[in-house]
Chain A
Amino acid sequence: MKTNDVIFQTVAKVVFFMIIFFAVRIFFAGHYYPGGGFVGGLLTSGAIVLLLLAFDMKTVKKGLPIDFKCLIGLGLLFGAGTAAGSLLFNVPFFTHAYDYFQLPLFGKTSLHTAMLFDLGVYFVVIGVTMTIIQTIGESE
């Protein structure tokens, strides 16, 4: 049975970006306000799930040609890489570094290697949730 859910699809298109922006906001704010890689990742995958519900799986795959299993690997690489990177500077494993920079558009900004680690968490969480949901959705 083919239903015409044009309202749902239109709303989904708009809401998708709102959720994504919220997720990105939460991810970047993690070090100062509630949030971080984990919740950010969950919210991002929530946005993709919304697309999956509004459209079918093929359409979403066409729009987002990402293999989420690779995203898991990428995330782990970021996590472990950030932790191991400190070894290059002759400090213990998992030592983070941060400093404050004067960036053109942002003004005074702190850049922190913990963000790279959190990015790893973010990717892993998206990869994991989307792999699970896609796998279960595809199986009969």
Chain B
Amino acid sequence: MSLLHWAILAPFILAAFVPFVRKKAPSIHTGWFVFVLPVVLFVSFLQYLPVTMNNDSVSKTVSWIPSLGIDFTAYVDGLSLLFVLLITGIGALVVLYSTYYLSKTKESLQHFYVYLLMFMGAMLGVVLSDNVITLYMFWELTSISSFLLIAYWFDRDRSRYGAMKSMLITVFGGLMMLGGFAVLSIMGGTFSIRELAAQAPELNNHPLFLLAMILILLGAFTKSAQFPFYIWLPDAMEAPTPVSAYLHSATMVKAGIYLVARFSPIFAFSSYWFWIVGAVGLFTMVWASFNAVKQTDLKGILAFSTVSQLGLIMCLLGVSSAALYFDSLDDNLYTAAVIAAVFHLINHATFKGSLFMVVGIIDHETGTRDIRRLGGLMSLMPVTFTLSVIGAFSMAGLPPFNGFLSKEMFFLSMVQLTELNLFQLETWGMLLPVLAWIGSVFTFIYSIILVFNVFGGKFQPEKLEKKPHEAPAGMLISPIVLAALVILFGLFPNLLSYSLIQPAAASIVPSIIPAGDQLYVNIYFWHGITVELLMTIGVVAVGIVLYKFLPKWIGLYDYFPGKVTLNQFYNSSLYVAERGSNSLTKAYMTGFIRSYLVYIFAFFIAILGFTMWAKNAFRFDASNTAPIGFYEAGLLVVLCISIVTILMAKSRLTSIIALGAVGYSVSLFFVIFRAPDLALTQLVIETVSTALFLLCFYHLPKLYRHEEKIGFQIGNAIIAAGVGIIVTLIGISAHSTKLFSSINEYYIENTYSKAGGENMVNVILVDFRGFDTLFEISVLSVAALGIYGLIKLRMEKGGEQHENK
């Protein structure tokens, strides 16, 4: 176990101690104890920066299940390090924020921090694992801890609904992803991602390639809330705001992004990858930004905006595969997409985290998140207002914030794609920048709504539950840090270029970088009148106009039928699945033994009949049969008459007597066929069982004692006839195809010489095959004790034991 492994496991270990800390030191907010860990992890992971900046990597392996090739391999490269720093950095800020956000006395903090630490450890495991099985394990742990965190206030209906929805969708995706991993490791013969990436060209030609890709992408799309799986994210907003800030904006939803980026070296050579990832991402971006505008809940807006921004990053990752088709770095314009994706990933984590915290503050200080009840808070909460302006303007893509730079790069790469002649882009290429532009317009509108509908306009104190005032300083620290980063990265983007962006981009598209060379990150090329700048100006102009006339066209949303939304589809498909399986089970589990016997016998006939037919197994061979004597024929007639009497008898007594007749005729058969032991036993047993039948008959309840014939049912008759015919046919075939001679010669020879007896039946029973007899007498004993128990131990209605009288 190296330090790297301990770093991944540290949050889990600390989580085990949190309840004790909470109990022993209830006067100190538990968050402070937790706060130390992400800070320490953040600082210690900073030490890997020099390593990754040289495009080197660190890999440490601990054997987990070596016989299956499953190891716990921790692997740090540019991409992992970027995510680790996001997770630990924003994790520290979120823990700090939560110590002020969650009440020390009212909330069950031990649960909150245990879940949060579990999540943090799982997330570190996801981004640092090189083994797909380990990755999957941590992946599901993030789903589980996210489920627990969403349902933190479990006494609320909406929380439980949101938690279950996110669980169902993300676990569905996780299982698909596991399938994809399995397919991929079968193709490549290894579980290690690096080894798989090394054989990417062979994998590309494998017939299972597309299957593996789609399954893994399903996992990524469900986790990262891409269309049509984004529906869980708005409902996950029922979680406490620190959770929304951490999980549902900065880290967990980026696990899908990480997965796509991590598997780019394997899949990105395929045009399917380009189109699926690119198109889904772009469509998600436009669709979610369009839907964000109509939300009235602040966290609802932020949820849709997260979906939209994730779509943007996903789209950039998809189109970055274009870069792989140009060998030389010098004239390769398409690396811009990769750089834009990584850059926007960082930017989004900073501004969205701060926005969520700001919304949490507004909720905390006014008691509502509904924008229809908020307004005019600018002068009351100046710091919060400043922070939300920074975050929202960065999200809208306005200078001088970092969102502006990444949005410019997004436009740039979209525009550049139209000049590409790959992937049939000449027909559909023009759509890409147009859609991107439309999405950005809507992004601009909802960002403006976020600021001006809350802080601008008229103050409406009568609609608020509390008297609003500025948040305590401690609560503001985290969003201030994040907002400061927004400005810092906006003004000095090259702080990141070679420390984080370049190594991460190099891990996503490693094959374009020749050995010893470096990817050239040209973020500071943002000034100058270019197409993308004109597009941004267009976004602002159109966005302002649309925002001004928002009340005029907001009614447009009402034209979208509420019946055909994805949420409606999700709810009704759950309902249909539950109802459908319920009624299906009810339809065949009737509760009548009669129906179950029908199924059993029908299946019996079908499977045996089919086998006989399919294997052409029917044989008839009369050469080996004995002649039929007079006694046999006579007894057979008696037997048949008795059996028919049982079926036709009106009274049960007649049936019992006829059954006795059947038994005695069988014992006569034994006499004829020279089996004296069997005849003796059969005679006595038949007598006993007839007596028991008579006993049962005597005790029948008077109420139901109808003397009537068995009703005739054609279905039963067919099944009975079928069983009879099948068994007869099998008997005849079996008799006609005897392959070996019997082993009875051995018994005949050795009964006296080896076992010292002359009654061969008895010698077989007690000597040659005595084992069977031993357990047959055990069966008899169990039956007798069972009868004794059934009769003697009668429970009374109240459940009290009825003792022996």
Are B791 and A135 within 8 A (Cβ)? yes
Are B757 and A31 within 8 A (Cβ)? yes
Closest-by-CB residue of B relative to A124 is: B777
Are A96 and B755 within 8 A (Cβ)? yes
Query: Count the A residues whose beta carbon is within 8 Å of the partner chain — how many?
Result: 42
Are B785 and A72 within 8 A (Cβ)? yes
8 Å CB contact of A36 from B684, B765, B785: B765
Are B777 and A83 within 8 A (Cβ)? no
Closest approach, in angstroms, between the C-beta of B475 and any C-beta of chain A? Answer: 77
Are A112 and B684 within 8 A (Cβ)? no
Residues of chain A within 8 A (CB-CB) of B578 are none
Closest-by-CB residue of A relative to B756 is: A98
Closest approach, in angstroms, between the C-beta of A104 and any C-beta of chain B? Answer: 21
Closest-by-CB residue of A relative to B773 is: A121
Looking at the complex, which of A7-15, A37-45, A58-66 is the stretch in contact with chain B?
A37-45
Are A135 and B677 within 8 A (Cβ)? no
Residues of chain B within 8 A (CB-CB) of A107 are none
Are B680 and A35 within 8 A (Cβ)? yes
Of residues 760 to 791 in B, which have CB atoms within 8 Å of A's CB atoms? 761-763, 765-767, 770-771, 773-774, 777-778, 780-781, 783-785, 787-788, 791
Judge whether B579 is part of the interface by a CB distance below 8 angstroms. no
Residues of chain A within 8 A (CB-CB) of B692 are 136
Query: Count the B residues whose beta carbon is within 8 Å of the partner chain — how many?
Result: 35
Are B762 and A128 within 8 A (Cβ)? no
Residues of chain A within 8 A (CB-CB) of B765 are 36
Residues of chain B within 8 A (CB-CB) of A4 are none
Closest-by-CB residue of B relative to A37 is: B766
Judge whether B157 is part of the interface by a CB distance below 8 angstroms. no
Residues of chain B within 8 A (CB-CB) of A50 are none
Residues of chain A within 8 A (CB-CB) of B762 are 30-31, 35-36, 118
Known contacts A94-B770, A125-B780; is-contact A32 B681 (Cβ 8 Å): no
Residues of chain B within 8 A (CB-CB) of A42 are 681, 684-685, 688
Residues of chain A within 8 A (CB-CB) of B766 are 30, 36-37, 96, 114, 117-118, 121
Closest-by-CB residue of B relative to A31 is: B757
- Most A-side CB within 10 Å, residue of B680, B762, B773: B762
8 Å CB contact of B677 from A36, A98, A121: A36
Residues of chain B within 8 A (CB-CB) of A46 are 684
Are B759 and A35 within 8 A (Cβ)? yes
B interface residues with partner A (beta carbon < 8 Å) = 676-677, 680-681, 684-685, 688, 692, 695, 755-759, 761-763, 765-767, 770-771, 773-774, 777-778, 780-781, 783-785, 787-788, 791-792
A interface residues with partner B (beta carbon < 8 Å) = 26, 29-39, 42-43, 46, 69, 72, 75-76, 79-80, 83, 94, 96, 98, 110, 112, 114, 117-118, 120-121, 124-125, 127-129, 131-132, 135-136, 139
Beyond A34-B759, A75-B777, A117-B773: 12 further Cβ-contacts under 8 Å?
A29-B759, A42-B688, A69-B784, A69-B788, A79-B774, A83-B774, A112-B756, A114-B763, A114-B770, A121-B777, A124-B780, A139-B792
